[in-house]
Amino acid sequence: MKSKTQLPIWIFWLSLFVIGVLLAWNNSLTVTADLTRNQIEFKNWHPYVWEFSSFLIIYILYFGVYWLANKFSLLNQNWLPNLFIHIIATVVFSILHVLLMVWIRQIIYALMGGQYEFGEGYSEWLYEYRKDVVTYFVFVMLLYAFQHLTQSKKPRSDSAVNQKLQVKNKQGVFWIKHADITTIESGGNYIYIHAGDQVLPMRSTMAKIEKELESSDFLRVHRSYLVNLNHCKAIQRQSTESSKLELLSGQVIPVSKNYRGKLLASLEQKLIKAVNIKS
């Protein structure tokens, strides 16, 4: 299986800039034609200042949206709470867009001997916000599409038995077979790899280790736990909000409500796969 060639992120930003410039130019021509047709008095440079000031501020703000889109991804299990964060961010995005855009226009108008009036603040902002929400999420979806289409894909091994996780800590460097790991637990700035009777600490984050093990049999079942699906024995439902997962070793770990559905589906899928292999 061939791996995809990973394109540098600057290609995404350059493409976005070129497309934005072309759209701003086209919008300027459209506004010019509309104003002329409706016999509205304006200076020839007005539409270009309006459109390019808006594009410039949006492009700058996109760097903040880029950070948010990766920090609070809409493509993982926490997409719903992360979506709420992004909805709040659209308000901040739009307010900054309008304030900075108007500021630039006022400066340019003053330099040209004129005065820029934005209009009634609240109603004008609502008009801009409707457009900014679409602009915000279009950018996020384009970013995710670029990352998906260009990210390098490591060829998957036919068997996870010989795959190993490198663990570095103060005691040295260790290589633990994925198959031997039962759970990975987070605690502060460290994660703790449970493998048989061993508990190996390593300075890392759950997000990083989850990404490293995403192609194997590990699944996030709690904010603080990753579990090897091959070591699961039973799910003990405590309430509608929480459950407990019993492992073959006898260890019991909590299962969050948000992860329980995916855990059940993954275990069922493994069972069907195992039956199909035997038959």
Among the candidates 126, 150, 174, a domain finishes at 150
- Per-residue pLDDT at 274 exceeds 80: no
> Per the domain annotation, does 14 fall within a domain?
yes
| Number of domains the chain contains | 2
Q: Are 235 and 268 in contact (CB under 8 A)?
A: no
81 and 41 together in one domain: yes
Q: Tell me what the mean pLDDT of segment 203-209 comes to.
A: 86
Q: Is the pLDDT of residue 19 over 90?
A: yes
pLDDT at 152: 57
What is the per-residue pLDDT across 188-197, written as a single tens digit (0 to 9) for each? 888 888 888 8
Residue 187 to residue 167: CA distance in whole angstroms: 16
Place of tokens 């909590």: 254
Residue 252 lies in a domain: yes
Residue 124: inside a domain: yes
Contacts of residues 193-197 at CB distance under 8 Å and 24 or more positions apart, as own/partner, are 193/165, 193/167, 194/251
Query: 137 and 207: one domain?
Result: no
> What average pLDDT does the segment 152-161 reach?
48
Same domain, 143 and 14: yes
Q: Which pLDDT score, from 0 to 100, does residue 170 have?
A: 82
What is the chain's percent helix, strand, coil content, to nearest 5? 55, 20, 25
Asked whether the predicted pLDDT for residue 114 surpasses 50, the reply is: yes
Residue ending a domain, among 99, 126, 150, is: 150
The predicted pLDDT at position 279 comes to 53
Residues 211 and 269 in one domain: yes
**Whether residues 132 and 177 fall in one domain:** no
Is residue 154's pLDDT more than 60?
no
* CATH code of residue 194: 2.40.50.1020
Average model confidence (pLDDT) for the chain? 86
- Clarify whether residues 181 and 62 are in a common domain: no
pLDDT confidence band for 3 (50 / 70 / 90): very low
CA distance 226 to 249: 15
Question: How large is the average pLDDT for residues 205-210?
Answer: 85
Q: What is the mean pLDDT of residues 130-137?
A: 96
Domain assignment of residue 156, yes or no:
no
- Give domain status of residue 159, yes or no: no
Residue 22's pLDDT band (boundaries 50, 70, 90)? Answer: very high
pLDDT, tens digit (0-9, with 9 covering 90-100), for 222-247: 888 889 888 888 888 766 667 888 88
Residues 25-30 have a mean pLDDT of 96
Confidence of residue 1 (pLDDT cuts 50, 70, 90): very low
Q: Is the pLDDT of residue 4 over 60?
A: no
> What is the spatial order of strands in the sheet that 232-237 belongs to?
232-237, 242-247, 252-256
Per the listing, tokens 């108007």 go with: 102
DSSP 178: G
Domain hosting residue 201, numbered range: 164-278
* Model confidence at 48: pLDDT above 90: yes
> Do residues 220 and 113 both lie within one domain?
no
pLDDT digits (tens, 9 = 90+) for 241-264: 678 888 888 888 888 888 888 888
Look at residue 208 in the predicted model and tell me its pLDDT: 86
Q: Residue 76: which H helix or E strand, with range?
A: none
Contacts of 234 by beta carbon, 8 Å cutoff, 6+ apart: 245, 246
- 3-class DSSP assignment, residue 176: strand
> Per-residue pLDDT for 120 more than 80?
no
- Looking at residue 79, its amino acid is W
Q: Considering the domain boundaries, does residue 157 fall inside one?
A: no
